[in-house]
Amino acid sequence: MSAPTRYFVSHLTEYDYGRPVANGRHILHLSPRSLPWQSVLSHAVLIDPGPSERQAGVDAFGNPIETLVLSHQHSSLAVHARSWVELAPRPSPAAKASETWIAVREGMVFRAGQPPNAAERDAARYLFESRHVRVKRELADWASACFAPGEALLSSVARLNARIHAEFAFDPEATHVATPVMEVLKTRRGVCQDFAHLMLSALRSLGLPARYMSGYLLTTPPPGSPRLVGADASHAWVAVWSPLSGWVEFDPTNGVMAGMGHITLGWGRDFGDVTPLRGVIYGGGEHTPSIEVSVVPEADYPALFGEAATRLAS
């Protein structure tokens, strides 16, 4: 079993509004979530210009959030989240030892006189359509090749995870945030967010609870190339509900189960529930945010940020 590993995560979002903004209100999902295998050693969000009001809280899914109000005129906004997290190995459930997927599906069907327990009630929130996830017979038919009658849930989900990885091409130019999941199924191209929404749609269409996971993934530079500051990106993957194992996470973009390189911000029904930064402004012009993300192992931190850099985890 591998030892715990520490990572520094930097997520910088900058807006140049072009014209003055009279006021703005924003919600941030930029705080890593504390989990049995993920410890948040430190976390800070630097905001320029400083907000008129700022409040920490949690959303309906238990994710940490911050709300900002900028009631003074401004023409730009920079939000820089900096975190140190420590990941430990997470339990790896035995796929063949899990309950059958049909048993899980049948267990989520409401029956009078048999009230669900707390875990089942929570899982039921992730059974239905949401803004970016569809529940359709066509999706169930497409996924059914991975779900043989009587097969273990996690074995079937692993097969679907591998199928998406094998049949779909990563192409950041092929989609945008509002691309429908049915178009992704047709074109077989997209990014991690698209593949997560597709897998969620397939699982929910089969009657299986599944939720959207938002966070970061440690990436490896090409051979011979140095690790660069700001060259990484946010990542998305999927968690499926197993009554015996709890929430088990799969990454269809990479065809693996989530592991020591997956840093969790939070989860929801789809991307819309855990958008890293969203809000409304009064004023401004056309604008596109500039986003720079860095996921840096502790051993690489001094070389990238300097030996004298102040560590937030100190």
Whole-number pLDDT of residue 304: 81
In a domain, 310, yes or no: no
Whole-number pLDDT of residue 177: 84
Same domain, 247 and 108: yes
Instruction: Say what the pTM is.
Output: 0.92
Whole-number pLDDT of residue 306: 67
CATH code for the domain in which residue 254 is found: 3.10.620.30
Same domain, 73 and 127: no
* Average pLDDT rounded to a whole number, residues 257-277: 96
CATH code for the domain in which residue 61 is found: 2.60.40.2250
Predicted confidence band of residue 31 (pLDDT cuts 50, 70, 90): very high
Predicted confidence band of residue 97 (pLDDT cuts 50, 70, 90): low
Same domain, 56 and 108: no
* Average pLDDT rounded to a whole number, residues 218-230: 77
In a domain, 46, yes or no: yes
CA pair distance 238, 247, nearest whole angstrom: 9
163-184 confidence digits (pLDDT tens):
999 999 999 999 988 899 999 9
Residues of the domain holding 221: 95-273
In a domain, 147, yes or no: yes
Whole-number pLDDT of residue 311: 36
Same domain, 114 and 249: yes
**Residue 308, pLDDT above cutoff 70:** no
Same domain, 171 and 73: no
Whole-number pLDDT of residue 96: 58
* Average pLDDT rounded to a whole number, residues 150-163: 96
Predicted confidence band of residue 312 (pLDDT cuts 50, 70, 90): very low
- Lowest mean pLDDT, pick from 48-62, 219-233, 273-287: 219-233
Same domain, 137 and 178: yes
